[in-house]
Structure 1
Amino acid sequence: MLRIENLVLTVSDPDTGAETEILHGNSFSVAQGEAVGLVGESGSGKSMTLKCILGIEPGGARVEGVVDLDGVDLLRASGEELRRTRADDLALIAQNPHGSLNPVLPIERFLVEGMTDARGVPQAEARSRAARLLADVGITDTERVLKSYPHQLSGGMLQRVVIAGAISGDPKLLLADEPTTALDVTTQAEVVAILDEKRREHGLSMIFVTHDLDLAAAVCDRLAVMKDGEILEIGTPEEIRDRPQHEYTRALMDARPMLYPPGHEAAAAAEAAREASAAALAEEAGTGAAGGVRGADPAQQEGAES
């Protein structure tokens, strides 16, 4: 569905003209209905990869390679073709929901305008659908929320609103850029579960950007580990967890928060509790639901590891 080959991003210093390569020839693919996680430390190039897909890379940057979405190379598409693809086929869920919403406009305006302006849905139908979408993402008092302004809602509620807006246009590909960073752990689990449920319900593909390996493992079919603008390895969550191939991936695994140091008598119990918590989140998010693609097509994984 999405094929990225040899993606290179180079930016120029506006003062000196010096060029710096940010992404170093990365390749991976996302199948229909599949979720791929981009994981790594801050500055590893995860969000820049999403910007290249959307065509919103920094001004003066040069992007090379192939970004093919269902036969359309987004790097070579015309302006009109790219705008139409963004409106119909792509949806971005940003890490800060406050930045996605106009603070002086009510939630209703945000949801309804996206359907009426971009897709020509009649006003009354768009409003009715907006209310249904809010209900779908777990918001019960939809009328109050539709009339509310962003500052009147919590971060978790706003992220639900953004998810509703993202799926309102039935996109082919969701780009989730650390969508739970600003949320507490409990709200994070709820939002991730809703996001994954809606993705599976609508048969969407997703790229999920995060620095949290456990969170990515709970909602993604495959993980791509990134460092310094390069994809180091790609595998299923089980492969990354149990058989990491790269030293950096092993370091990421070791860097996960631990209640006790290795060798402590309580360390084994703490690790078992952590794995049980991750398994519970995975079950809540529906990762074991029928229709998943994890391990279903070895040829896809072989292509993605190129």
Structure 2
Amino acid sequence: MLNVEGLTLAVTDPDTGQETEILRGNSFSLGQGEALGLVGESGSGKSMTLKCILGIEPPGSKVGGSIELGGTDLLAASGEQLRKVRANELALIAQNPHGALNPVLHVERFLIEGMADARGIPKAEAKARAAGLLRQVGITDTERVLRSYPHQLSGGLLQRVVIAGAISGEPRLLLADEPTTALDVTTQAEVVAILDEKRREHGLSMIFVSHDLDLAAAICDRLAVMKDGAILEIGTPEEIRDRPKTDYTRALMAARPLLHPEGRAPVLPNGTETDV
């Protein structure tokens, strides 16, 4: 479904002309319905990988390699082709839900504009669908939430709204860029469980970016460990845990805080253990 081959990204400083290599020839694939976790420290290139897929890399960047989504090479696509792909094939869930919505517009506008404006669905039908999407992600007081501005909702509630918006267009690929970073631990578990449930219900593929190995392992079929712009290894959560191939991966595993060294790992609401 998604094939990335030899992806490179270099950014040139406009003041000094110095070029910095951000991504270093990374390759990976993603099947339909599969979830891949990109894990690693800050600055390893996880979010930049998502930006290259979306075609929103920094100005002055040089992108090399190929990114093929459903037979379309995104790096070679025209602006119009990219707009269609973004509207129908891709959806981004950002790490800061407050930054994902226009602060002066109601939640209702955020949810219905894609359906009504981009897809031509009548507004009354789009509003009904929006309320249904909110119920799908566990929001019961839909009328109040639809009338609310972003600042009137908690981070956890707002991230549910963002997930509802992401699945509203029935995309093939979800790009989740640290979607739980701004949330407390309990809300993190709830949001991740909802995200995993909706992914499985809709048969979506997903790339899940996270610093948290345990969290990524709980919902991803495979993990890709990144450092300094390079993918060091890719494997199942069990392979990464039991048979790490690099010293960096072993160090990353050892750096995890263990709050339950003698007991069982905590589980998500869907019954999935959160330990790698």
Q: Same fold by TM (over 0.5)?
A: yes
- Report the equivalent of 1:162: 162
Structure 2: which 5+ runs fail to align? none
- Which one-letter code corresponds to 2:68 in the other structure? D
The 8 Å contact of residues 95 and 180 in structure 2, kept in 1 or not, is answered as yes
Identity %: 77
Give the SS at the match of 1:276.
coil
Q: CA deviation at 1:276?
A: 2.3
- Report the equivalent of 2:265: 276
Give the SS at the match of 1:271.
coil
- Which one-letter code corresponds to 1:281 in the other structure? L
Q: CA deviation at 1:257?
A: 1.1
Shift in CA distance, 249/162, structure 1 to aligned 2, threshold 3 Å: same
Count, aligned residues: 274
- Report the equivalent of 2:188: 188
The 8 Å contact of residues 194 and 285 in structure 1, kept in 2 or not, is answered as no
Superimposed CA distance per residue, residues 19-69 of structure 1 (whole angstroms, 9 cap, x where no aligned partner):
111100000011000000000000000000000000000001010001000
- Report the equivalent of 1:241: 241
Shift in CA distance, 282/144, structure 1 to aligned 2, threshold 3 Å: closer
1:12 paired with 2:2, answer no
Q: CA deviation at 1:130?
A: 0.1
Give the SS at the match of 2:85.
helix
TM-score (norm 2): 0.97
What is the distance in 1 between the residues matched to 2:131 and 2:253?
41
What is the distance in 2 between the residues matched to 1:119 and 1:64?
32
Q: CA deviation at 1:117?
A: 1.2
Greater shift in the superposed pair: 12-21 or 46-55 = 12-21
What is the distance in 2 between the residues matched to 1:195 and 1:286?
15
How do 1:14-163 residues align onto structure 2 when only pairs under 5 Å count?
14-163=14-163
- Which one-letter code corresponds to 2:271 in the other structure? E
- Greater helix share, structure number: 1
Runs of 4+ in 1 over 4 A off after TM superposition: none
Shift in CA distance, 113/11, structure 1 to aligned 2, threshold 3 Å: same
The 8 Å contact of residues 11 and 62 in structure 1, kept in 2 or not, is answered as yes
The 8 Å contact of residues 115 and 168 in structure 2, kept in 1 or not, is answered as yes
Structure 1: which 5+ runs fail to align? 260-269, 288-306
Shift in CA distance, 77/286, structure 1 to aligned 2, threshold 3 Å: farther
TM-score (norm 1): 0.88
Q: CA deviation at 1:282?
A: 8.0
What is the distance in 1 between the residues matched to 2:65 and 2:80?
21
Q: RMSD of the alignment, in Å?
A: 1.3
Superimposed CA distance per residue, residues 56-113 of structure 1 (whole angstroms, 9 cap, x where no aligned partner):
0000101000100000000000100000000000000000000000111110000011
- Which one-letter code corresponds to 1:276 in the other structure? A
